[in-house]
A and B are shown apart, each in its own frame.
Chain A
Amino acid sequence: MKELVVISGKGGSGKTSMVAALSQLANNPVLCDADVDAADLHLILSPNLKESHEFTAGHTASIDLEKCTRCGKCIELCRFDAISPDFVVDPLECEGCGVCYYFCEEGAVAFPENLSGHWYMSDCRFGPMVHAKLGIAEENSGKLVTVVRKEAAKIAESNGHEMVITDGPPGVGCPVIAAIGGASGVLIVTEPSLSGRHDMERVLELARHFSVPALLCINKYDLNESISEGIRKFAEQHNVPCVGQVPFDPAMTKSMVQAQTLFEYDPNAPACTAVREIWARLREEVV
């Protein structure tokens, strides 16, 4: 079983549209949406929910003002300024470190586990799908990413699927680190802008840092051909296979508005040819 994780550094470069299109080209894949903060893949794949699971992670303190003697030890020890002068914990500032809970001599601090979100097992028209929703303003997105990837891998292993295709989160921080560790390869979707290139270089460095093989593709390459050329040269110098480039094509957005993949919306769109070529190269490189 292989796992391909699609990432970008910069948001909005076309990760999810690319994953949806690849889902259709792949032979019975397992789909995994690891952008648990702002999941969008379900908007195209319209999964039928089979199972919903609670995701609990981390703790948040709260102070029982009846038991509290206002000794002030918790305020003194809290490094996150999460406890107000009248001994109320701000759940948004609370890091869940438990220091107040541990040191309160009156036992006035409760420290329950958080319900941080949900994860789901579903079926969609291209195969099984594992996805999740992190609660608004919650922490522990990395842990939830780890959960969905593990569940997707389990399904693939037990049912003999050749590949898991994972839609990754933007950035290079906690959820991305959780999304790429141990993957067979990452596909970096970039765009020809100074921002796109800058963030691609950072996320490539991250893939190298965790020794995950990286492949690159350029979306909307004709928006600025000289930057695209620069990106291809950069990829060559750094031994990153550039597996293809997709022209700017309004069908990309229009298919999304119709909740369809690119191929469902218009199999003759210029972007389709490019995505087919990318898939052929990906199969060679990853499978």
Chain B
Amino acid sequence: MIISVASGKGGTGKTTMATSLALSIDRARLADCDVEAPNSHLFLRPVFEPDDTITMPVPQVDEDECTLCGECAVICQFNAIVTIADTVMTFPELCHGCGGCQAACPAGAIEEGRRTIGTIQHGRCNGLDFVHGRIRIGEAMAPPLIRQIRSRINPDETAVIDAPPGTSCPVIAAIKDTDFVVLVTEPTPFGLNDLKLAVETVKILKIPSGLIINRSDIGDNKVAEYAAMEKIPILMEIPYNRQIAEAYSRGEPVVEAFPEWRERFEKLYADICNLVAGSKS
């Protein structure tokens, strides 16, 4: 089973929930798919294996073979290859790696090169298998790296995915085809607005979901009203607590700083299992 933790709005507590949930499951994996701002490792402090460098295909043109026919530029939707006067230029950072130019080149002048988009690291901590990715600074394309992390998850294991914020392609890559989405929000206008966007995203992907309202007493009641209207189960409510915020700042998982919370996270996992079983029957 794969449980993803997502939010729409950033900073609502995805990493807090994902790490404590994973630590409360017997033999789980945590996969941090927020490759732009990965934080789970700061809480779990895994012992890492050496990095894997992740690359994407990009065109490499043999100028001696190239006839400057321009067919590569015709097929490329991303302006990553153009012919200008008597030369062909490539812009690797714009390339999506579709291989169209290579397939379309009548002279067979294009071969596949590689560009580095980031790294993936595996590690272990407290009986937990850990994996995360880090996008190379300056690289724009997160989804291919996220898909690579997803491919490292064994379909038979229990995994918790820490997803990036937002509602666009990186989130889709992180949560698509997972069994359940835990949506983490806060009871404020920003939290509600972005929760609605996240709920729409989850609906498009047809994944069952539940809600955690973090800092549940800092705002108003509109998130709970919205959840009732949308029939989204509220899995947990956590009032604001300065000690939890301070433990967070030091990188301490909630279930380790406050062992009395372990039972609640174990129950959270049991509730999710029941909801997933219910959605499949």
Binding site for B on A (CB under 8 A): 9-13, 16, 37-38, 40, 43, 58-59, 77, 79-80, 92, 95-99, 102-103, 134, 136-139, 141-142, 169-177, 191-196, 198-199, 202, 205-206, 209-210, 223-224, 227, 250, 253, 256-257, 259
Contact = CB atoms under 8 A, between A and B. Distances in A.
Interface residues of B, number: 59
Contacts of A134: 167-168
20 contacts: A10-B39, A11-B37, A12-B9, A12-B10, A37-B168, A38-B10, A38-B167, A43-B193, A95-B96, A95-B98, A97-B77, A99-B98, A134-B168, A137-B168, A137-B171, A137-B172, A172-B36, A223-B242, A227-B249, A256-B189
B220 A257 contact: yes
B97 interface: yes
Contacts of A136: 167, 197, 200-201, 204
Given A10-B39, A137-B169, 7 more contacts: A11-B9, A137-B167, A171-B37, A173-B35, A173-B170, A174-B142, A205-B137
B206 to A, nearest CB: 11
Contacts of A174: 140-142
B254 interface: no
Interface in B105-142: 135, 137-142
B138 A9 contact: no
A250 B193 CA distance: 20
Given A137-B168, A173-B140, A12 B11 contact: yes
Contacts, number: 185
Contacts of A40: 9, 189-190, 193-194
Interface string B227-264: 00000000000000010011011110000000000000
Contacts of B205: 92, 137
A175 to B, nearest CB: 8
A34 B139 CA distance: 19
B15 A195 contact: yes
A43 B188 CA distance: 11
A96 B77 contact: yes
A162 to B, nearest CB: 28
Contacts of A80: 98
Nearest to B176: A92
Nearest to B252: A194
Interface of B: 8-12, 15, 34-37, 39, 42, 75, 77-78, 96-100, 103-104, 135, 137-142, 164-172, 176, 188-190, 193-194, 197, 200-201, 204-205, 218-220, 242, 245-246, 248-251
A16 to B, nearest CB: 7
Given A77-B103, A92-B176, A223-B246, A169 B12 contact: no
Contact of A209 (B135, B137, B164): B137
A227 B142 CA distance: 29
CB-based closest 3 A-B pairs: A11-B10, A12-B11, A171-B36
A38 B36 contact: no
Contacts of B9: 11-12, 38, 40
A98 B75 contact: yes
A192 B249 contact: yes
Contacts of A92: 172, 176, 204-205
A150 to B, nearest CB: 17
A193 B251 CA distance: 7
Given A139-B168, A224-B246, A172 B137 contact: yes
Contacts of B141: 173-174
Contacts of B204: 92, 136-137
A253 B219 contact: yes
A224 B168 CA distance: 33
A198 B39 CA distance: 8
Given A10-B39, A172-B37, A194 B100 contact: no
A195 B19 CA distance: 13
Contacts of A224: 246, 249-250
A177 B138 contact: yes
Nearest to B197: A38
A99 B137 contact: no
A200 to B, nearest CB: 10
B130 to A, nearest CB: 16
A122 to B, nearest CB: 16
A198 B201 CA distance: 28
Given A38-B197, A137-B204, A169-B166, A194 B99 contact: no
Given A11-B10, A12-B9, A99-B99, A142 B140 contact: yes
A199 to B, nearest CB: 4
A269 to B, nearest CB: 15
Given A79-B98, A95-B96, A206 B137 contact: yes
A182 B179 CA distance: 42
